[in-house]
Structure 1
Amino acid sequence: MIDWLNKMISLGIFVTTPLEILGFVTGAIYVYLNTRQNVISWFFGIVNALLYAAVFWQVRLYADTGLQGYYFFTSIYGWWMWKFGGANHEELKVSLTPKKLYPVFAAIFVVGSILWGFLLAKFTNASFTYLDSALTIASLIGQWMLARKYLENWIIWILADACYVVLYFYKALNLTAFLYFVFLILAMIGYVRWRRDVLRV
Protein backbone atom coordinates (compact mmCIF):
# COMPACT_ATOMS: atom_id res chain seq x y z
CA MET A 1 0.00 0.00 0.00
CA ILE A 2 2.75 2.44 0.96
CA ASP A 3 4.77 1.59 -2.15
CA TRP A 4 1.72 2.27 -4.34
CA LEU A 5 1.16 5.67 -2.72
CA ASN A 6 4.75 6.66 -3.48
CA LYS A 7 4.87 5.37 -7.06
CA MET A 8 5.92 8.14 -9.47
CA ILE A 9 3.33 8.89 -12.12
CA SER A 10 2.97 11.55 -14.81
CA LEU A 11 0.00 13.90 -15.04
CA GLY A 12 0.71 16.02 -18.07
CA ILE A 13 3.45 18.43 -17.01
CA PHE A 14 3.40 17.14 -13.43
CA VAL A 15 5.44 14.21 -12.15
CA THR A 16 3.89 13.24 -8.84
CA THR A 17 2.67 10.40 -6.60
CA PRO A 18 -0.79 9.20 -5.54
CA LEU A 19 0.07 10.42 -2.03
CA GLU A 20 0.69 13.95 -3.29
CA ILE A 21 -2.49 13.81 -5.40
CA LEU A 22 -4.56 12.90 -2.35
CA GLY A 23 -2.91 15.77 -0.49
CA PHE A 24 -3.74 18.11 -3.37
CA VAL A 25 -7.41 17.14 -3.45
CA THR A 26 -8.02 17.25 0.31
CA GLY A 27 -6.05 20.51 0.62
CA ALA A 28 -8.04 22.24 -2.11
CA ILE A 29 -11.34 21.14 -0.57
CA TYR A 30 -10.16 22.24 2.88
CA VAL A 31 -9.21 25.79 1.89
CA TYR A 32 -12.22 26.25 -0.39
CA LEU A 33 -14.60 25.29 2.42
CA ASN A 34 -12.72 27.64 4.76
CA THR A 35 -13.44 30.55 2.42
CA ARG A 36 -17.12 29.56 2.68
CA GLN A 37 -16.91 29.30 6.50
CA ASN A 38 -18.10 25.69 6.28
CA VAL A 39 -17.14 23.86 9.48
CA ILE A 40 -16.71 20.56 7.60
CA SER A 41 -13.51 22.08 6.19
CA TRP A 42 -11.72 21.04 9.36
CA PHE A 43 -12.30 17.34 8.65
CA PHE A 44 -10.44 17.74 5.36
CA GLY A 45 -7.78 19.74 7.22
CA ILE A 46 -7.13 16.76 9.48
CA VAL A 47 -6.84 14.32 6.57
CA ASN A 48 -4.66 16.73 4.60
CA ALA A 49 -2.26 17.15 7.51
CA LEU A 50 -1.68 13.42 7.76
CA LEU A 51 -1.07 13.06 4.03
CA TYR A 52 1.34 15.98 3.73
CA ALA A 53 3.31 14.96 6.79
CA ALA A 54 4.37 11.94 4.76
CA VAL A 55 5.00 13.97 1.59
CA PHE A 56 7.25 16.55 3.25
CA TRP A 57 9.20 13.98 5.28
CA GLN A 58 10.27 12.29 2.07
CA VAL A 59 11.77 15.49 0.62
CA ARG A 60 13.49 16.53 3.89
CA LEU A 61 11.34 19.58 4.58
CA TYR A 62 11.24 18.71 8.27
CA ALA A 63 9.84 22.03 9.45
CA ASP A 64 6.90 21.51 7.12
CA THR A 65 6.54 17.94 8.38
CA GLY A 66 6.29 19.16 11.95
CA LEU A 67 3.86 21.84 10.82
CA GLN A 68 1.43 19.13 9.71
CA GLY A 69 1.22 17.87 13.29
CA TYR A 70 0.27 21.36 14.37
CA TYR A 71 -2.31 21.53 11.57
CA PHE A 72 -3.77 18.24 12.77
CA PHE A 73 -4.41 19.49 16.30
CA THR A 74 -5.46 23.02 15.33
CA SER A 75 -7.95 21.53 12.88
CA ILE A 76 -9.61 19.80 15.83
CA TYR A 77 -9.45 23.07 17.77
CA GLY A 78 -10.77 25.08 14.80
CA TRP A 79 -13.64 22.65 14.33
CA TRP A 80 -14.72 23.20 17.94
CA MET A 81 -14.16 26.97 17.86
CA TRP A 82 -16.13 27.52 14.66
CA LYS A 83 -19.00 25.44 16.05
CA PHE A 84 -19.10 26.58 19.68
CA GLY A 85 -16.57 29.43 20.12
CA GLY A 86 -18.98 32.34 19.78
CA ALA A 87 -21.09 34.10 22.36
CA ASN A 88 -23.13 31.65 24.47
CA HIS A 89 -21.30 28.76 22.75
CA GLU A 90 -22.86 29.66 19.42
CA GLU A 91 -21.18 29.71 16.00
CA LEU A 92 -18.05 31.88 15.92
CA LYS A 93 -18.28 35.03 13.80
CA VAL A 94 -15.54 36.66 11.70
CA SER A 95 -13.76 39.52 13.49
CA LEU A 96 -10.70 41.74 13.18
CA THR A 97 -7.52 40.64 14.96
CA PRO A 98 -7.12 42.45 18.30
CA LYS A 99 -4.32 45.01 17.95
CA LYS A 100 -2.65 43.78 21.15
CA LEU A 101 -1.82 40.51 19.39
CA TYR A 102 0.29 42.08 16.63
CA PRO A 103 3.47 42.58 18.72
CA VAL A 104 3.02 39.07 20.10
CA PHE A 105 2.80 37.62 16.59
CA ALA A 106 5.84 39.66 15.48
CA ALA A 107 7.95 38.39 18.38
CA ILE A 108 6.87 34.79 17.79
CA PHE A 109 7.71 35.09 14.08
CA VAL A 110 11.20 36.56 14.55
CA VAL A 111 12.32 34.42 17.49
CA GLY A 112 10.66 31.25 16.21
CA SER A 113 12.10 31.57 12.71
CA ILE A 114 15.66 32.13 13.94
CA LEU A 115 15.56 29.43 16.62
CA TRP A 116 13.88 26.77 14.51
CA GLY A 117 16.12 27.55 11.54
CA PHE A 118 19.22 27.25 13.71
CA LEU A 119 18.13 23.89 15.13
CA LEU A 120 17.34 22.49 11.70
CA ALA A 121 20.65 23.71 10.28
CA LYS A 122 22.66 22.27 13.16
CA PHE A 123 20.99 18.93 13.76
CA THR A 124 19.37 17.87 10.47
CA ASN A 125 20.03 17.73 6.74
CA ALA A 126 16.98 19.91 6.06
CA SER A 127 16.77 22.09 2.95
CA PHE A 128 16.38 25.89 3.07
CA THR A 129 16.42 25.85 6.85
CA TYR A 130 15.68 29.51 7.60
CA LEU A 131 13.23 30.07 4.74
CA ASP A 132 11.39 26.87 5.59
CA SER A 133 11.35 27.85 9.26
CA ALA A 134 10.07 31.38 8.60
CA LEU A 135 7.25 30.05 6.45
CA THR A 136 6.49 27.43 9.09
CA ILE A 137 6.19 30.02 11.88
CA ALA A 138 4.05 32.27 9.68
CA SER A 139 1.81 29.29 8.99
CA LEU A 140 1.54 28.51 12.70
CA ILE A 141 0.28 32.03 13.30
CA GLY A 142 -2.02 32.02 10.28
CA GLN A 143 -3.58 28.69 11.20
CA TRP A 144 -4.34 29.80 14.77
CA MET A 145 -5.87 33.03 13.44
CA LEU A 146 -7.97 31.00 11.01
CA ALA A 147 -9.26 28.84 13.86
CA ARG A 148 -10.25 32.04 15.69
CA LYS A 149 -11.86 33.46 12.52
CA TYR A 150 -9.66 36.55 12.48
CA LEU A 151 -9.98 38.24 9.08
CA GLU A 152 -6.26 38.99 8.73
CA ASN A 153 -5.35 35.29 8.68
CA TRP A 154 -5.88 35.49 4.92
CA ILE A 155 -3.21 38.17 4.55
CA ILE A 156 -0.67 35.89 6.19
CA TRP A 157 -1.71 33.02 3.94
CA ILE A 158 -1.42 35.17 0.82
CA LEU A 159 2.19 36.04 1.67
CA ALA A 160 3.15 32.54 2.82
CA ASP A 161 1.49 30.74 -0.10
CA ALA A 162 3.29 32.95 -2.63
CA CYS A 163 6.63 31.92 -1.09
CA TYR A 164 5.63 28.28 -0.85
CA VAL A 165 4.85 28.16 -4.57
CA VAL A 166 8.47 29.02 -5.36
CA LEU A 167 9.91 26.69 -2.72
CA TYR A 168 7.92 23.65 -3.77
CA PHE A 169 8.61 24.11 -7.46
CA TYR A 170 12.31 24.20 -6.61
CA LYS A 171 11.93 20.98 -4.60
CA ALA A 172 10.20 19.34 -7.62
CA LEU A 173 6.91 19.05 -5.74
CA ASN A 174 5.23 20.47 -8.80
CA LEU A 175 1.69 19.41 -7.99
CA THR A 176 2.02 20.77 -4.46
CA ALA A 177 3.41 24.02 -5.85
CA PHE A 178 0.35 24.26 -8.08
CA LEU A 179 -1.84 23.50 -5.06
CA TYR A 180 -0.28 26.40 -3.18
CA PHE A 181 -0.94 28.62 -6.16
CA VAL A 182 -4.58 27.56 -5.85
CA PHE A 183 -4.32 28.29 -2.12
CA LEU A 184 -3.00 31.76 -2.98
CA ILE A 185 -6.02 32.50 -5.16
CA LEU A 186 -8.41 31.05 -2.56
CA ALA A 187 -6.78 33.13 0.18
CA MET A 188 -7.48 36.27 -1.83
CA ILE A 189 -11.08 35.16 -2.29
CA GLY A 190 -11.34 34.27 1.40
CA TYR A 191 -10.16 37.71 2.44
CA VAL A 192 -12.76 39.42 0.25
CA ARG A 193 -15.59 37.18 1.44
CA TRP A 194 -14.72 37.39 5.13
CA ARG A 195 -14.20 41.16 4.93
CA ARG A 196 -17.79 41.54 3.77
CA ASP A 197 -18.95 39.82 6.96
CA VAL A 198 -16.83 42.16 9.11
CA LEU A 199 -18.23 45.22 7.33
CA ARG A 200 -21.79 44.04 7.96
CA VAL A 201 -21.23 44.11 11.73
Structure 2
Amino acid sequence: MRPLLELMEEWAPQMEQAAVVFSLLYVFLAARRSIWCWLFGGLASAISVVLFFTVKLYAESALYLFYVVMAVYGWWQWSKARGDDGNFRIVEWRTDRHVLLIVVSGIAGIGLFSLLSELTDAELPFADAMTTTFSIAATFMVARKVLSNWIYWIAIDALSVWLYYTRGLDYFALLMLLYTGMAAYGFVQWRKEYRAQEPLPEPEEPENHGDPKPVVVITGPECSGKTTLAKDLSKATFQPWAEEQARAYLEQLEQPYTSDDLVNIARMQLEAIRQSSQRAALFAISDTGPEVVLLWHRDKLGPEPPALRAMHEQFTPVLYLLCRPDIPYEEDPLREDPHRRDELFEQYRALLKDRPVVEISGTRKERNQSAMMALVGLVRGD
Protein backbone atom coordinates (compact mmCIF):
# COMPACT_ATOMS: atom_id res chain seq x y z
CA MET A 1 0.00 0.00 0.00
CA ARG A 2 2.81 2.37 0.87
CA PRO A 3 4.56 2.24 -2.55
CA LEU A 4 1.22 2.94 -4.24
CA LEU A 5 0.67 6.02 -2.08
CA GLU A 6 4.18 7.22 -2.84
CA LEU A 7 3.53 6.77 -6.56
CA MET A 8 0.30 8.72 -6.27
CA GLU A 9 2.12 11.53 -4.49
CA GLU A 10 4.79 11.55 -7.20
CA TRP A 11 2.20 11.92 -9.95
CA ALA A 12 0.05 14.40 -8.01
CA PRO A 13 1.19 17.51 -9.97
CA GLN A 14 0.39 15.90 -13.32
CA MET A 15 -2.98 14.66 -12.07
CA GLU A 16 -3.77 18.10 -10.73
CA GLN A 17 -2.99 19.75 -14.07
CA ALA A 18 -5.10 17.24 -16.02
CA ALA A 19 -8.00 17.66 -13.61
CA VAL A 20 -7.77 21.44 -13.96
CA VAL A 21 -7.98 21.29 -17.76
CA PHE A 22 -10.94 18.89 -17.76
CA SER A 23 -12.68 20.87 -15.02
CA LEU A 24 -12.37 24.14 -16.93
CA LEU A 25 -13.87 22.47 -19.97
CA TYR A 26 -16.71 21.18 -17.79
CA VAL A 27 -17.64 24.60 -16.40
CA PHE A 28 -17.32 26.35 -19.75
CA LEU A 29 -19.51 23.78 -21.51
CA ALA A 30 -22.03 23.79 -18.64
CA ALA A 31 -22.34 27.56 -18.92
CA ARG A 32 -22.98 27.06 -22.64
CA ARG A 33 -25.55 24.35 -21.84
CA SER A 34 -23.59 21.70 -23.75
CA ILE A 35 -24.26 18.14 -22.66
CA TRP A 36 -20.59 17.31 -23.28
CA CYS A 37 -19.76 19.12 -20.05
CA TRP A 38 -20.67 15.93 -18.19
CA LEU A 39 -18.03 13.87 -20.04
CA PHE A 40 -15.22 16.22 -19.05
CA GLY A 41 -16.68 16.63 -15.58
CA GLY A 42 -16.61 12.87 -15.11
CA LEU A 43 -12.98 12.62 -16.23
CA ALA A 44 -11.90 15.49 -13.98
CA SER A 45 -13.75 13.97 -11.04
CA ALA A 46 -12.21 10.53 -11.47
CA ILE A 47 -8.71 12.03 -11.40
CA SER A 48 -9.60 14.22 -8.41
CA VAL A 49 -10.75 11.24 -6.34
CA VAL A 50 -7.19 9.94 -6.34
CA LEU A 51 -5.56 13.34 -5.98
CA PHE A 52 -7.46 14.47 -2.89
CA PHE A 53 -6.97 11.14 -1.19
CA THR A 54 -3.21 11.61 -1.43
CA VAL A 55 -3.33 15.02 0.32
CA LYS A 56 -5.68 13.81 3.09
CA LEU A 57 -8.74 15.80 2.05
CA TYR A 58 -10.94 12.75 2.45
CA ALA A 59 -14.28 14.49 2.25
CA GLU A 60 -13.19 16.17 -0.96
CA SER A 61 -12.09 12.79 -2.33
CA ALA A 62 -15.49 11.30 -1.50
CA LEU A 63 -17.15 14.35 -3.02
CA TYR A 64 -15.42 13.82 -6.35
CA LEU A 65 -16.44 10.17 -6.31
CA PHE A 66 -19.98 11.47 -6.01
CA TYR A 67 -19.27 13.80 -8.95
CA VAL A 68 -18.41 10.79 -11.11
CA VAL A 69 -21.87 9.39 -10.41
CA MET A 70 -23.46 12.80 -10.94
CA ALA A 71 -21.76 13.10 -14.33
CA VAL A 72 -23.68 10.03 -15.46
CA TYR A 73 -26.90 11.35 -13.90
CA GLY A 74 -26.40 14.80 -15.40
CA TRP A 75 -25.83 13.39 -18.88
CA TRP A 76 -29.01 11.34 -18.54
CA GLN A 77 -31.07 14.28 -17.25
CA TRP A 78 -29.91 16.71 -19.92
CA SER A 79 -30.29 14.22 -22.76
CA LYS A 80 -33.90 13.29 -22.01
CA ALA A 81 -35.41 16.79 -21.85
CA ARG A 82 -34.02 18.67 -24.84
CA GLY A 83 -36.15 20.83 -27.09
CA ASP A 84 -36.16 21.33 -30.83
CA ASP A 85 -33.19 23.71 -30.54
CA GLY A 86 -31.13 21.02 -28.80
CA ASN A 87 -31.32 22.78 -25.44
CA PHE A 88 -33.24 22.07 -22.25
CA ARG A 89 -35.57 24.40 -20.36
CA ILE A 90 -33.94 26.24 -17.47
CA VAL A 91 -36.05 26.32 -14.31
CA GLU A 92 -35.91 28.26 -11.05
CA TRP A 93 -36.83 27.29 -7.51
CA ARG A 94 -39.03 29.10 -5.04
CA THR A 95 -37.44 30.72 -1.98
CA ASP A 96 -38.73 28.04 0.40
CA ARG A 97 -36.87 25.35 -1.54
CA HIS A 98 -33.63 27.29 -1.28
CA VAL A 99 -34.12 27.76 2.47
CA LEU A 100 -34.73 24.03 2.86
CA LEU A 101 -31.65 23.20 0.77
CA ILE A 102 -29.42 25.52 2.82
CA VAL A 103 -30.69 24.18 6.14
CA VAL A 104 -30.31 20.53 5.12
CA SER A 105 -26.86 21.10 3.59
CA GLY A 106 -25.73 23.02 6.66
CA ILE A 107 -26.88 20.30 9.06
CA ALA A 108 -25.25 17.64 6.89
CA GLY A 109 -22.06 19.71 6.83
CA ILE A 110 -21.96 19.94 10.63
CA GLY A 111 -22.45 16.19 10.88
CA LEU A 112 -19.67 15.53 8.38
CA PHE A 113 -17.41 17.97 10.23
CA SER A 114 -17.89 15.97 13.43
CA LEU A 115 -17.03 12.72 11.69
CA LEU A 116 -13.94 14.14 10.02
CA SER A 117 -12.71 15.67 13.28
CA GLU A 118 -13.12 12.49 15.29
CA LEU A 119 -12.31 9.73 12.82
CA THR A 120 -9.68 11.15 10.45
CA ASP A 121 -6.59 13.31 10.34
CA ALA A 122 -8.29 15.67 7.90
CA GLU A 123 -6.94 19.19 7.58
CA LEU A 124 -9.45 22.06 7.87
CA PRO A 125 -12.36 19.69 8.53
CA PHE A 126 -15.08 22.36 8.85
CA ALA A 127 -14.37 24.06 5.52
CA ASP A 128 -13.81 20.65 3.94
CA ALA A 129 -17.19 19.41 5.19
CA MET A 130 -19.19 22.49 4.23
CA THR A 131 -17.80 22.71 0.71
CA THR A 132 -18.57 19.02 0.33
CA THR A 133 -22.23 19.12 1.35
CA PHE A 134 -23.05 22.34 -0.46
CA SER A 135 -21.22 21.17 -3.59
CA ILE A 136 -23.37 18.04 -3.63
CA ALA A 137 -26.48 20.20 -3.46
CA ALA A 138 -25.26 22.59 -6.16
CA THR A 139 -24.27 19.76 -8.51
CA PHE A 140 -27.75 18.29 -8.17
CA MET A 141 -29.14 21.71 -9.09
CA VAL A 142 -26.99 21.80 -12.23
CA ALA A 143 -28.27 18.38 -13.27
CA ARG A 144 -31.85 19.56 -12.65
CA LYS A 145 -31.20 22.73 -14.71
CA VAL A 146 -31.89 25.17 -11.85
CA LEU A 147 -30.78 28.71 -12.69
CA SER A 148 -29.52 29.69 -9.24
CA ASN A 149 -27.06 26.80 -9.03
CA TRP A 150 -24.48 29.33 -10.19
CA ILE A 151 -25.03 31.52 -7.13
CA TYR A 152 -24.17 28.57 -4.90
CA TRP A 153 -21.08 27.82 -6.98
CA ILE A 154 -19.78 31.38 -6.69
CA ALA A 155 -19.79 31.07 -2.88
CA ILE A 156 -18.42 27.50 -2.86
CA ASP A 157 -15.62 28.26 -5.31
CA ALA A 158 -14.55 31.39 -3.44
CA LEU A 159 -14.20 29.37 -0.21
CA SER A 160 -12.39 26.60 -2.07
CA VAL A 161 -9.71 29.03 -3.27
CA TRP A 162 -8.58 29.46 0.33
CA LEU A 163 -9.05 25.77 1.19
CA TYR A 164 -6.87 24.49 -1.65
CA TYR A 165 -4.23 27.19 -1.31
CA THR A 166 -3.63 26.32 2.33
CA ARG A 167 -3.08 22.67 1.34
CA GLY A 168 -0.47 23.52 -1.27
CA LEU A 169 -2.70 22.77 -4.27
CA ASP A 170 -1.78 25.89 -6.18
CA TYR A 171 -3.24 24.76 -9.48
CA PHE A 172 -6.54 23.87 -7.85
CA ALA A 173 -6.59 27.18 -5.98
CA LEU A 174 -6.13 28.96 -9.30
CA LEU A 175 -8.80 26.73 -10.81
CA MET A 176 -11.27 27.72 -8.09
CA LEU A 177 -10.49 31.38 -8.72
CA LEU A 178 -11.27 30.86 -12.39
CA TYR A 179 -14.35 28.86 -11.42
CA THR A 180 -15.66 31.82 -9.43
CA GLY A 181 -15.50 34.03 -12.50
CA MET A 182 -16.90 31.33 -14.76
CA ALA A 183 -19.77 30.70 -12.34
CA ALA A 184 -20.66 34.37 -12.61
CA TYR A 185 -20.49 34.02 -16.40
CA GLY A 186 -22.67 30.91 -16.24
CA PHE A 187 -25.28 32.72 -14.17
CA VAL A 188 -25.42 35.62 -16.62
CA GLN A 189 -25.74 33.24 -19.58
CA TRP A 190 -28.39 31.03 -18.02
CA ARG A 191 -30.40 33.99 -16.74
CA LYS A 192 -30.41 35.57 -20.19
CA GLU A 193 -31.58 32.33 -21.78
CA TYR A 194 -34.08 31.69 -18.97
CA ARG A 195 -35.72 35.04 -19.64
CA ALA A 196 -35.69 34.44 -23.39
CA GLN A 197 -37.30 31.00 -23.23
CA GLU A 198 -40.47 30.59 -25.21
CA PRO A 199 -43.58 30.08 -23.07
CA LEU A 200 -44.85 26.54 -22.92
CA PRO A 201 -47.08 25.80 -25.92
CA GLU A 202 -50.76 26.49 -25.56
CA PRO A 203 -53.08 23.51 -25.86
CA GLU A 204 -54.77 23.16 -29.22
CA GLU A 205 -58.34 24.33 -29.50
CA PRO A 206 -60.74 21.39 -29.37
CA GLU A 207 -62.92 20.61 -32.33
CA ASN A 208 -66.34 22.18 -31.92
CA HIS A 209 -69.10 19.57 -31.74
CA GLY A 210 -71.94 21.91 -30.84
CA ASP A 211 -72.93 25.13 -29.15
CA PRO A 212 -71.19 25.50 -25.79
CA LYS A 213 -73.43 25.29 -22.74
CA PRO A 214 -73.16 27.24 -19.47
CA VAL A 215 -70.47 26.20 -17.02
CA VAL A 216 -70.72 25.57 -13.29
CA VAL A 217 -67.36 25.71 -11.53
CA ILE A 218 -66.70 23.87 -8.28
CA THR A 219 -63.93 25.73 -6.51
CA GLY A 220 -62.26 26.28 -3.16
CA PRO A 221 -59.01 25.60 -1.29
CA GLU A 222 -57.25 22.26 -1.41
CA CYS A 223 -58.94 19.27 0.18
CA SER A 224 -62.37 20.89 0.38
CA GLY A 225 -64.31 18.16 -1.44
CA LYS A 226 -64.31 19.67 -4.94
CA THR A 227 -63.61 16.50 -6.92
CA THR A 228 -66.06 14.38 -4.94
CA LEU A 229 -68.80 16.96 -5.46
CA ALA A 230 -68.04 17.26 -9.18
CA LYS A 231 -68.32 13.50 -9.65
CA ASP A 232 -71.54 13.29 -7.62
CA LEU A 233 -73.22 16.13 -9.52
CA SER A 234 -72.17 14.77 -12.89
CA LYS A 235 -73.59 11.38 -12.01
CA ALA A 236 -76.83 12.83 -10.65
CA THR A 237 -77.48 15.23 -13.55
CA PHE A 238 -76.00 13.18 -16.42
CA GLN A 239 -73.96 16.21 -17.42
CA PRO A 240 -70.25 16.02 -18.32
CA TRP A 241 -67.60 17.30 -15.95
CA ALA A 242 -64.14 18.67 -16.64
CA GLU A 243 -61.53 17.06 -14.43
CA GLU A 244 -58.93 19.12 -12.59
CA GLN A 245 -55.87 19.37 -14.85
CA ALA A 246 -53.33 20.47 -12.24
CA ARG A 247 -52.83 17.05 -10.67
CA ALA A 248 -51.98 15.20 -13.88
CA TYR A 249 -49.70 18.04 -14.96
CA LEU A 250 -47.75 18.17 -11.69
CA GLU A 251 -47.39 14.39 -11.49
CA GLN A 252 -45.50 14.44 -14.79
CA LEU A 253 -43.40 17.50 -13.95
CA GLU A 254 -39.78 16.65 -13.12
CA GLN A 255 -38.88 19.92 -11.41
CA PRO A 256 -40.61 22.45 -9.17
CA TYR A 257 -43.40 24.28 -10.95
CA THR A 258 -42.86 27.76 -12.34
CA SER A 259 -45.09 30.63 -13.38
CA ASP A 260 -45.14 29.23 -16.92
CA ASP A 261 -46.38 25.91 -15.56
CA LEU A 262 -49.29 27.53 -13.72
CA VAL A 263 -50.29 29.52 -16.80
CA ASN A 264 -50.21 26.31 -18.80
CA ILE A 265 -52.35 24.51 -16.21
CA ALA A 266 -54.96 27.28 -16.42
CA ARG A 267 -55.04 26.98 -20.20
CA MET A 268 -55.43 23.22 -19.99
CA GLN A 269 -58.28 23.63 -17.52
CA LEU A 270 -60.08 26.03 -19.83
CA GLU A 271 -59.63 23.59 -22.70
CA ALA A 272 -61.15 20.78 -20.64
CA ILE A 273 -64.04 23.08 -19.70
CA ARG A 274 -64.68 23.99 -23.34
CA GLN A 275 -64.75 20.35 -24.35
CA SER A 276 -67.23 19.50 -21.59
CA SER A 277 -69.35 22.53 -22.42
CA GLN A 278 -69.67 21.40 -26.04
CA ARG A 279 -70.81 17.93 -24.98
CA ALA A 280 -73.31 19.12 -22.39
CA ALA A 281 -77.08 19.15 -22.84
CA LEU A 282 -77.84 21.65 -20.06
CA PHE A 283 -74.60 22.74 -18.43
CA ALA A 284 -71.05 21.55 -17.86
CA ILE A 285 -69.46 21.01 -14.47
CA SER A 286 -65.81 21.81 -13.86
CA ASP A 287 -63.59 20.69 -11.01
CA THR A 288 -61.85 24.09 -10.55
CA GLY A 289 -61.29 26.97 -12.96
CA PRO A 290 -58.62 29.60 -13.60
CA GLU A 291 -59.47 31.31 -10.30
CA VAL A 292 -57.78 28.43 -8.46
CA VAL A 293 -54.57 28.85 -10.44
CA LEU A 294 -54.65 32.63 -10.01
CA LEU A 295 -54.84 32.42 -6.20
CA TRP A 296 -52.27 29.62 -6.23
CA HIS A 297 -49.86 31.83 -8.16
CA ARG A 298 -50.40 34.79 -5.83
CA ASP A 299 -49.82 32.65 -2.75
CA LYS A 300 -46.74 30.74 -3.91
CA LEU A 301 -45.07 32.75 -6.66
CA GLY A 302 -46.28 36.32 -6.21
CA PRO A 303 -48.44 38.55 -8.44
CA GLU A 304 -49.97 36.69 -11.35
CA PRO A 305 -48.85 37.40 -14.94
CA PRO A 306 -51.26 39.32 -17.20
CA ALA A 307 -52.12 36.18 -19.18
CA LEU A 308 -53.39 34.41 -16.07
CA ARG A 309 -55.33 37.43 -14.86
CA ALA A 310 -56.96 37.76 -18.29
CA MET A 311 -58.01 34.11 -18.28
CA HIS A 312 -59.80 34.59 -14.97
CA GLU A 313 -61.43 37.89 -15.93
CA GLN A 314 -62.65 36.66 -19.31
CA PHE A 315 -64.00 33.36 -17.98
CA THR A 316 -67.61 33.84 -16.91
CA PRO A 317 -69.29 30.69 -15.57
CA VAL A 318 -72.95 30.96 -14.64
CA LEU A 319 -72.27 29.74 -11.11
CA TYR A 320 -69.47 29.00 -8.67
CA LEU A 321 -69.97 26.36 -5.99
CA LEU A 322 -67.46 27.45 -3.35
CA CYS A 323 -66.56 24.52 -1.09
CA ARG A 324 -65.83 25.28 2.54
CA PRO A 325 -62.89 23.25 3.98
CA ASP A 326 -64.95 21.79 6.84
CA ILE A 327 -64.02 18.19 6.06
CA PRO A 328 -61.01 16.24 7.43
CA TYR A 329 -57.71 16.96 5.71
CA GLU A 330 -56.26 14.07 3.71
CA GLU A 331 -52.50 13.91 3.23
CA ASP A 332 -51.33 14.18 -0.36
CA PRO A 333 -47.79 14.86 -1.66
CA LEU A 334 -49.14 17.49 -4.07
CA ARG A 335 -50.93 19.47 -1.35
CA GLU A 336 -49.03 22.32 0.28
CA ASP A 337 -51.16 24.06 2.93
CA PRO A 338 -52.88 21.72 5.41
CA HIS A 339 -53.15 24.43 8.08
CA ARG A 340 -54.20 27.39 5.91
CA ARG A 341 -57.40 26.12 4.32
CA ASP A 342 -59.66 28.57 6.17
CA GLU A 343 -57.39 31.48 5.31
CA LEU A 344 -57.36 30.47 1.65
CA PHE A 345 -61.15 30.03 1.69
CA GLU A 346 -61.48 33.71 2.61
CA GLN A 347 -59.25 34.59 -0.33
CA TYR A 348 -61.66 32.74 -2.63
CA ARG A 349 -64.55 34.63 -1.09
CA ALA A 350 -62.86 37.95 -1.74
CA LEU A 351 -61.88 37.08 -5.31
CA LEU A 352 -65.39 35.91 -6.26
CA LYS A 353 -67.40 38.49 -4.30
CA ASP A 354 -68.83 40.06 -7.48
CA ARG A 355 -69.69 36.75 -9.14
CA PRO A 356 -72.58 34.31 -8.66
CA VAL A 357 -71.48 32.08 -5.78
CA VAL A 358 -73.17 29.48 -3.61
CA GLU A 359 -71.17 28.27 -0.63
CA ILE A 360 -71.16 24.53 -0.03
CA SER A 361 -70.51 22.94 3.36
CA GLY A 362 -71.45 20.08 5.66
CA THR A 363 -71.49 16.35 5.13
CA ARG A 364 -71.32 14.80 1.69
CA LYS A 365 -75.09 14.40 1.63
CA GLU A 366 -75.63 18.00 2.74
CA ARG A 367 -73.18 19.26 0.15
CA ASN A 368 -74.91 17.35 -2.63
CA GLN A 369 -78.32 18.63 -1.56
CA SER A 370 -77.17 22.26 -1.44
CA ALA A 371 -75.47 21.97 -4.82
CA MET A 372 -78.47 20.25 -6.44
CA MET A 373 -80.80 22.99 -5.18
CA ALA A 374 -78.49 25.57 -6.74
CA LEU A 375 -78.45 23.68 -10.05
CA VAL A 376 -82.23 23.28 -10.09
CA GLY A 377 -82.58 27.01 -9.58
CA LEU A 378 -80.09 27.60 -12.37
CA VAL A 379 -82.04 25.45 -14.84
CA ARG A 380 -85.35 27.04 -13.84
CA GLY A 381 -83.84 30.49 -14.21
CA ASP A 382 -84.42 31.48 -10.57
TM-score (norm 1): 0.89
The residue correspondences of 1:71-110 to structure 2 (distance < 5 A) are 71-85=67-81, 91-110=87-106
SS at match of 2:93: coil
Gaps (5+ residues) in structure 1? 9-15
How far apart, in 1, do the equivalents of 2:152 and 2:32 lie? 18
- Per the alignment, residue 157 of structure 1 pairs with 153
Residue identity matched to 1:167:
L
**Residue deviations 1:27-83, cap 9 Å, x none?**
111111101000011001111111011111111111101101111111111111111
Structure-2 change in CA distance of 1:130 and 1:52 (3 Å): same
How far apart, in 2, do the equivalents of 1:131 and 1:169 lie? 13
Structure-2 change in CA distance of 1:21 and 1:5 (3 Å): farther
How far apart, in 2, do the equivalents of 1:98 and 1:77 lie? 23
The residue correspondences of 1:16-165 to structure 2 (distance < 5 A) are 17-85=13-81, 91-165=87-161
How far apart, in 2, do the equivalents of 1:99 and 1:197 lie? 21
Contact 2:24/2:179 (<8 A) preserved: yes
Contact 1:35/1:189 (<8 A) preserved: yes
How far apart, in 2, do the equivalents of 1:149 and 1:30 lie? 15
Contact 2:91/2:147 (<8 A) preserved: yes
How many residue pairs were aligned? Answer: 192
SS at match of 2:95: coil
How far apart, in 1, do the equivalents of 2:96 and 2:66 lie? 24
SS at match of 1:17: helix
Q: CA deviation at 1:86?
A: 5.6
Matched, 1:171 2:174: no
Contact 2:154/2:183 (<8 A) preserved: yes
Q: CA deviation at 1:182?
A: 1.1
**Residue deviations 1:64-112, cap 9 Å, x none?**
011011111111111111111368xx85311112434223202212210
Q: Going by fraction, where is helix more abundant, 1 or 2?
A: 1
Contact 2:8/2:50 (<8 A) preserved: no
Structure-2 change in CA distance of 1:104 and 1:169 (3 Å): same
SS at match of 1:125: coil
How far apart, in 2, do the equivalents of 1:110 and 1:29 lie? 29
- Per the alignment, residue 12 of structure 1 pairs with none
How far apart, in 2, do the equivalents of 1:166 and 1:7 lie? 24
CA-based RMSD of the aligned residues comes to: 2.0
Contact 2:17/2:171 (<8 A) preserved: yes
How far apart, in 2, do the equivalents of 1:93 and 1:161 lie? 25
Of 2, 5, 10, which aligns to 1:7? 10
TM-score (norm 2): 0.48
Of structures 1 and 2, the one scoring higher in RCO (CA 8 A, sep 6+) is: 1
Contact 1:46/1:71 (<8 A) preserved: yes
Structure-2 change in CA distance of 1:151 and 1:190 (3 Å): same
Q: CA deviation at 1:176?
A: 0.7
Mark the structure with the bigger radius of gyration.
2
Structure-2 change in CA distance of 1:98 and 1:79 (3 Å): farther
Q: CA deviation at 1:4?
A: 7.0
Contact 2:8/2:51 (<8 A) preserved: no
Gaps (5+ residues) in structure 2? 198-382
How far apart, in 2, do the equivalents of 1:132 and 1:105 lie? 18
How far apart, in 2, do the equivalents of 1:101 and 1:155 lie? 14
**Residue deviations 1:158-192, cap 9 Å, x none?**
00100101111111100110011111111010000
Greater than 4 Å deviation, 4+ residue runs: 2-6
Residue identity matched to 2:164:
Y
How far apart, in 1, do the equivalents of 2:94 and 2:73 lie? 20
Q: CA deviation at 1:5?
A: 6.5
